[in-house]
Amino acid sequence: MHIGIISNSDECIPLAYTLANQGLQVCIFFSPSPDNYICEKVTKLLQVARVPCTIEKDPKTDVYNWLVKERPPVIFVLGYKYLLDVKKIGMLNIPAFNIHYGALPSFRGPVPVFWQLKQGRPSLEVSIHRLSAKFDDGEVVWRKETPNMPYYNYSYVHQLFSRLCIEGVQFILRVMQSHLPLPGIREKERTPAYHKRPQLADVTINWQMMSAEEICNLARACNPWNKGAQTFFNKQEVKFMDAVVVHTPATEAAGTILQDDERLLVACADGKMINVNMLYSGDFFVPSYHAAAWGFLKGKIFG
């Protein structure tokens, strides 16, 4: 079977490698990432694996010309930022599926991993749905949940899902090869919701409202793409890259530094404290055991 993959991310590589190693023909349509390193990585690795890769130049026409030329019997979309025209694809009689790193329909939108981590969901979910005329709106045909572990961060979850989704693609291919209808999954109890790209307020710590756990969740959701959860110190931007909840009660005002030696302990609005393990300040990283040297002293307040 000839498998087409449309992507703008190096997260397509595990899927392409696995399918190619199983003896399937794979072709990639790659929309260049703003990160030149990612583009070079994808093209070089696919070249080594002998997987054909077409680089997009014109998003309005190139992908459809590629589909006409390659005529794959099925395509999977993984991280393509443009809304594909399902009518044009349908005219070619090509089944098309989108791999979405979030629970549907509750986490529609471009960055579902961020919102799932920020909200502290007990489990994270990757879904595969039929491509539709609206973003993330097609019928779900496969999904997989995994526990949300306290050491997960934004980038690691993306790496994890790039591997977990292979199981879903293989399931869909088996069903198609058996010539059986692909069953859809309906979730009546889930409330549909679209989550936009995070804005400044979404990545900033609200010391008066957020609990210790919520601040730690935000730090994981912002690591490493935003270099952590944002706050301010002496009117300067500071980010928490990693923090854990300390269940010792704290009566001081939220944001107050309670300890500044081997640990950087900060009081939170719910009467708990967090141990900040790593900060990002002044365009460099500051480990907690050196925080005092950079002015993060006991009694000072973030906010």
Say what the pLDDT of residue 145 is.
97
The verdict on 170 and 208 lying in the same domain is: no
Residue 207: domain span = 200-294
**Is residue 188's pLDDT more than 80?**
no
pTM: 0.95
Please report which confidence band the pLDDT of residue 105 belongs to, taking 50, 70 and 90 as the band edges: very high
**Is residue 187's pLDDT more than 90?**
no
Q: Tokens at residue 192, please?
A: 């549909």
Say what the pLDDT of residue 287 is.
97
- When divided into structural domains, the chain yields a total of 2
Q: How many CB atoms lie within 10 A of CB 61?
A: 10
Mean pLDDT of 193-199: 97
Say what the pLDDT of residue 238 is.
98
Say what the pLDDT of residue 190 is.
84
CATH of the domain at 217: 3.10.25.10
- Cα–chain center distance at 35: 16
Mean pLDDT of 165-174: 97
Say what the pLDDT of residue 186 is.
78
Tell me, yes or no, whether 32 lies in a domain. Answer: yes
Say what the pLDDT of residue 33 is.
85
CATH of the domain at 152: 3.40.50.170
Say what the pLDDT of residue 2 is.
84
Report the mean per-residue pLDDT for the chain.
95
The verdict on 14 and 126 lying in the same domain is: yes
Say what the pLDDT of residue 5 is.
98
The verdict on 127 and 173 lying in the same domain is: yes
The verdict on 42 and 163 lying in the same domain is: yes
The verdict on 14 and 131 lying in the same domain is: yes
Please report which confidence band the pLDDT of residue 28 belongs to, taking 50, 70 and 90 as the band edges: very high
Which value, in Å, is the radius of gyration of the alpha carbons in the chain? 22
Tell me, yes or no, whether 302 lies in a domain. Answer: no
3-class secondary structure per residue, the chain: CEEEEEECCHHHHHHHHHHHHCCCEEEEEECCCCCHHHHHHHHHHHHHCCCCEEECCCCCCHHHHHHHHHCCCEEEEECCCCCCCHHHHHHCCCCEEEEECCCCCCCECCCHHHHHHHCCCCEEEEEEEECCCCCCCCCEEEEEEEECCCCCCHHHHHHHHHHHHHHHHHHHHHHHHCCCCCCCECCCCCCCCECCCCCHHHHECCCCCCCHHHHHHHHHHCCCCCCCEEEEECCEEEEEEEEEEECCCCCCCCCEEEEECCCEEEECCCCCEEEEEEEEECCEEEEHHHHHHHCCCCCCECC
Tell me, yes or no, whether 188 lies in a domain. Answer: no
Say what the pLDDT of residue 202 is.
98
Q: What is the pLDDT of residues 108-127, one digit of tens each?
A: 999 999 999 999 999 999 99
The verdict on 172 and 27 lying in the same domain is: yes
